[in-house]
């Protein structure tokens, strides 16, 4: 019997989500019957494709209170982030070469920032507190005359902490600085209004909201202020010259349908998923000691539960919990054996960072799955702790951190 024959419980929705069947149904005609290129404007096939992408553009824009012409379709949030950061940096270089971001951003923001540093730009990286929150005063003080962009995520992919985006947008606009937010984890889950929040650029991805992989979008403000970006690559002048390449029509249709469903079901999904997450957290806390909740318990995504299980190694836990799909860190960087840089930035020690597990629930998660996941997690942690001399010392009241392990 292979591992795929065993019923798996999927609790890794911050990594990706299953495509909703209603989304698949909306996409199917654009793979065969309506397979035209949206840039082919000489026949019905192209017109159908263009009409579908325009309708999708309007759906995406309406969901964040933007205009359809402010939506640029991309291959996903990584491309959207790169286009926003590198595109603004190149366009506004004559004004200044200083950018601001944060230590807990996704690598799709931190890596382009590092590339800009290597190219002669200056980047200020804000710190976070123990819950993953930034200090707004630190942001204010970091802004300079030559600051051109602030890039701060809406919600964190590992711990779920939500940044005060409206307050950040207000600070940026008061200082005449553009504000980009990587909203990949928040689009479809949280209410977003780019006008009220003073957001100038916003990145999103379909596969985090029950849509297909390989498609995303970037909102680029056209008025007050008009934001201009240099393209990152060239060829054909698609998307008003900002992002060349043949549009992924089925993916775009699917993303819009997924977003539409999220808009309709957001309140009910939020309530149900929050209740499931709280149930999982309560069951674990009732049976296990020495747990640490990572992130801001009062200000996080409904789906997100990141816990450190002291005296247990995260990789060992994953092996013991083979029936549950969870993450021991960000899915995009989990190949590394280094402890999570997000948790490190929050001041979490290496031992606790290595023992962290991210559970993330979703639309299709059931109470029965949560109960089973809690049961399996509890039994795995207890079994591993029974083999841990450090845990035995902790039970005896010995402060493990104060022990000197020198040779005798």
Angular region, 123: left φ>0, alpha ψ -120 to 50, beta rest: beta
How much is the average pLDDT of 152-164? Answer: 98
Residue 332 annotated to the active site:
yes
How much is the average pLDDT of 85-109? Answer: 98
67 & 207 share domain? yes
How much is the average pLDDT of 16-27? Answer: 98
pLDDT digits (tens, 9 = 90+) for 256-314: 999 999 999 999 999 999 999 999 999 999 999 999 999 999 999 999 999 999 998 88
**Longest CA–CA separation in the chain, Å:** 84
Closest C-alpha to 20, from 209, 184, 301, 191: 209
- CA 131-135-138 angle, 5° bins: 145
Q: Could you tell me the pLDDT band of residue 336, with boundaries at 50, 70 and 90?
A: low
| 371 within domain boundaries | yes
Instruction: Supply the DSSP symbol for 10.
Output: E
51 & 183 share domain? yes
255 & 302 share domain? no
Q: For the chain, what is the domain count?
A: 2
**Strand runs labelled E in 183-332:** 201-205, 216-220, 291-294, 304-309, 324-325
CATH number at residue 283: 3.90.1150.10
| 151 within domain boundaries | yes
pTM of the model: 0.93
Query: Which among 200, 227, 261 is the end of a domain?
Result: 261
| 407 within domain boundaries | no
Range of the domain at 215: 21-261
pLDDT at 376 over 60: yes
Position 201 scores a pLDDT of 98
How far apart CA 191 and CA 193 sit, in angstroms, is: 7
pLDDT at 217 over 80: yes
Q: Indicate which residue of 102, 172, 303, 332 is catalytic.
A: 332
Helices marked H in 295-355: 314-320, 341-345, 350-354
Closest C-alpha to 302, from 158, 189, 390: 189
148 & 272 share domain? no
CATH number at residue 219: 3.40.640.10
């Amino acid at each position: 019997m292979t591992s795929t024959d065993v019923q798996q419980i999927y609790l890794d929705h911050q990594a990706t989500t299953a495509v909703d069947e209603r989304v698949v149904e909306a996409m199917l005609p654009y793979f065969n019957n309506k397979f035209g290129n949206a840039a082919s404007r000489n026949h019905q096939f192209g017109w159908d494709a263009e009409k579908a992408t325009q309708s999708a553009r309007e759906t995406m824009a309406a969901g964040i209170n933007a205009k359809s012409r402010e939506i640029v379709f991309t291959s996903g949030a990584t491309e959207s982030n790169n286009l926003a950061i590198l595109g603004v940096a190149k366009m506004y270089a004559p004004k200044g070469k200083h950018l601001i971001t944060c230590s807990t951003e996704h690598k799709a923001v931190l890596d382009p920032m590092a590339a800009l540093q290597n190219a002669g730009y200056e980047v200020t990286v804000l710190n976070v507190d123990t819950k993953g929150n930034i200090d707004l005063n630190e942001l204010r003080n970091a802004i300079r005359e030559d600051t051109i962009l602030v890039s701060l995520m809406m919600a964190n992919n590992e711990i779920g902490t939500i940044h005060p985006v409206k307050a950040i947008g207000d600070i940026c606009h008061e200082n005449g600085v553009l504000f980009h937010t990587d909203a990949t984890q928040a689009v479809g889950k949280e209410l977003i209004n780019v006008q009220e929040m003073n957001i100038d650029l916003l990145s999103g991805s379909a596969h985090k909201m029950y849509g297909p992989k390989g498609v995303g979008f970037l909102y680029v403000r056209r008025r007050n202020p008009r934001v201009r970006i240099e393209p990152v690559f060239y060829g054909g002048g698609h998307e008003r010259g900002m992002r060349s390449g043949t549009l992924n029509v089925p993916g775009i249709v699917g993303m819009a349908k997924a977003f539409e469903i999220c808009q309709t079901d957001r309140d009910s999904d939020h309530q149900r998923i929050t209740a499931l997450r709280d149930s999982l957290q309560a069951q674990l806390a009732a049976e296990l000691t020495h747990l640490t909740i990572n992130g801001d318990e009062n200000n996080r995504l409904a789906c997100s539960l990141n816990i450190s299980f002291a005296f247990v190694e995260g990789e060992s836990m994953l092996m013991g919990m083979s029936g549950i799909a969870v993450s021991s860190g960000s899915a995009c960087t989990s190949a590394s054996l280094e402890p999570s840089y997000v948790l490190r930035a929050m001041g979490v020690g290496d031992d606790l960072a290595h023992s962290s597990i991210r559970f993330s629930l979703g639309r299709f998660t059931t109470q029965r799955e949560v109960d089973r996941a809690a049961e399996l997690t509890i039994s795995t942690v207890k079994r591993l702790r029974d083999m841990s001399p450090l845990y035995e010392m902790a039970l005896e009241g010995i402060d493990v951190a104060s022990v000197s392990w020198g040779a005798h």
